[in-house]
Amino acid sequence: MRAWNERLVLSLVRQHGALAKSDIARMTGLSAQTIGVIMRSLEQDGLLVRGEPIRGRIGQPSVPMSLNSDGAFFLGLKIGRRSADLALVDFLGRVRGARRRIYRYPTPDAVLAFVAEALPALIATLPANRRDRVGGLGVAMPFQLWSWVQEIGAPQSEMDAWRERDIQAELAALSGLPVFVQNDATAACGAELVFGTGEKSKDFLYFYFGYFIGGGLVLNGQLFTGQFGNAAGVGPMPVPGPDGRMRRLMTMASLSVLARAIEAAGGDAEQLWERPDHWEVPEDVLDQWMTSAAEGLASAILSAATLLEMQAVLIDGWMPVSVRAEVVRRTEAAFYRLDLSGIEPPVIREGTVGAEARALGAAAIPLAQRYLIDQNATVREA
C-alpha cells in the first residue's frame, strides 16, 4: 500500500509540476501526515527535491516538491526499419545522451551489436554514483518485422530471424536490465502522454510519421494497447485515394512514400533517415506528398471519430517542425471539407515530443512500470 501511494505522489507531481504536501493531500484525500511521510521517504530516496518555501499564508510556509531529474534514468531503444536509436533519459524525460545507427534494413544481430557498443558508452556519461539508478530498458519496434520484406526491400531469410529470436531476452542478457517491448508507434504515443508538454487531453488519437505511418490511442488518460499490443495501428486503415479507390493509409501518409517520390525525381532519399530536423526535398515533391498525406489522415480521423468520442488528434513524426505544422494545417483543412454530420469534431494539433518520440516512449515504459500508476485507479489510504 505504501509503494502504491508513493507511485501516486510521483504521478501527481509529474502531471502537475511542483506540489506541496497540502496540495497532494487535497487531491488524494490522504491525510497530511501520510503524505508527509511519503514525501520525506521519496526525498531521501532522491526522487523528489525540495523547493523554496512559499511564505505569506496562514500557518507554516508551504514547501513545494519537484521531481529530481537525477533520481532515476532509463534507456530507450527504437528499432526502426532504417535506423536504430538508443537514448539515455532522466527522470524528467530529458535526453542525457543518444546514439544512432543507420542500416539498409534491421536484423537482430545488427541491433544487438549496436546496443552492445552504445549502451556502455551512454551509461559511462553518468557520474559513477548515479549509474546504479538506471532502472530499465524499453524497446519500441514494429511488430512482425518479417511481414514487411517487400516494403523495406530486405531478404526474407534475414528478416525471418525476427520470428525465431527472442530479442527481449537477448537484450536483457546483454544489458543486465529489465527489458520491456512495445509497438513503436504506441511507444511514441506513450511519450506524448508521459513527457508531452501540450494540453493533456484525456482521450486522443495519435499519428506518428515514420518509415510507415503508425498510431496510438489514449482513452481516459491511459495508453490503450489492446489485446495484442497493436491497438490504433492506423497504417492499414482504408481511406480513399486521389482516384476515389480505397487504399491503405500507409500508402499515402508514410515517409517511405515520400522517399520513393524523391528518388523518382532523381534526388537522394537517404537524407530523410539521417536528419529529421532538416530536409532538402524538391518543393513540388514535398507539396504533393503533404497534400496526399493530409487527405488520407483526414479520412482516417473521420472514420475513428465515428467510433470514438475523441477530444483531440495529435500528429507528430520524424520530420522538420515546419513540415509537421504544414501537415497539421492541411489535415485540418481537409477534415473540415468532409461531411461531419453526426460527429463531434476533435481538435487536430501537433504533437509536442517530435522526432525522438519513439526512443523517448521506449524509455517511458520502464519508468511507468516502476514509478507511475493508473490515473483512473482509486486512491488508497496507507
The DSSP code for 4 is H
Higher pLDDT, 146 or 177: 177
Among the three residues 68, 95, 126, which one is the final residue of a domain in this structure? 68
- pLDDT exceeds 60 at position 59: no
Same-domain pairing of 60 and 164:
no
- pLDDT exceeds 70 at position 255: yes
Same-domain pairing of 202 and 338:
yes
Domain contains 376: no
- pLDDT exceeds 60 at position 81: yes
- Residue 97: pLDDT band (50, 70, 90) is very high
Tens-place pLDDT, residues 276-311: 999 999 999 999 999 999 999 999 999 999 999 999
- 364-382 mean pLDDT: 68
Domain contains 382: no
- pLDDT exceeds 50 at position 40: yes
Same-domain pairing of 168 and 277:
no
Same-domain pairing of 180 and 112:
yes
All three cell numbers of 306, joined, read: 465515428
Same-domain pairing of 54 and 93:
no
Domain contains 125: yes
- Position 378 scores a pLDDT of 34
- pLDDT exceeds 80 at position 375: no
CATH of the domain at 58: 1.10.10.10
Among the three residues 53, 68, 83, which one is the final residue of a domain in this structure? 68
Same-domain pairing of 202 and 268:
yes
Same-domain pairing of 178 and 209:
no
Same-domain pairing of 31 and 87:
no
List beta partners, residue 50. Answer: 65
> 77 is in which domain, residue-wise?
73-188+359-369
Cα 189 from Cα 225, distance rounded (Å): 10
Same-domain pairing of 172 and 208:
no
Same-domain pairing of 100 and 152:
yes
Q: Structural domain tally of the chain?
A: 3
DSSP 337-371: TS--TTS-PPEEEE-SS-TTHHHHHHHHHHHHHHH
- pLDDT exceeds 50 at position 376: no
- pLDDT exceeds 70 at position 85: yes
Please state the pTM of the whole predicted model.
0.89
Same-domain pairing of 172 and 230:
no
The amino acid sitting at 32 is A
CATH of the domain at 267: 3.30.420.40
Same-domain pairing of 231 and 113:
no
- Position 373 scores a pLDDT of 83
- pLDDT exceeds 50 at position 326: yes
The Cα angle at residue 91 between residues 53 and 95, in degrees rounded to 5:
120
Domain contains 380: no
- Position 116 scores a pLDDT of 98
Q: What is the largest CA-CA distance in the chain?
A: 72
Domain contains 378: no
DSSP 222-265: EEE--TTS-TT--TT-EEE-TTS-EEEGGGTSSHHHHHHHHHHT
- pLDDT exceeds 90 at position 42: yes
Among the three residues 68, 91, 123, which one is the final residue of a domain in this structure? 68
- pLDDT exceeds 50 at position 79: yes
Tens-place pLDDT, residues 341-355: 999 999 999 999 999
Cα 87 from Cα 100, distance rounded (Å): 9
- Least confident interval from 8-17, 34-43, 55-64, 163-172: 55-64
Domain contains 122: yes
- pLDDT exceeds 80 at position 13: yes
Domain contains 381: no
Helix (H) or strand (E) holding 103: none
- pLDDT exceeds 90 at position 150: no
- 139-165 mean pLDDT: 85
Domain contains 238: yes
- pLDDT exceeds 80 at position 153: no
Cα 155 from Cα 149, distance rounded (Å): 7
- Position 379 scores a pLDDT of 37
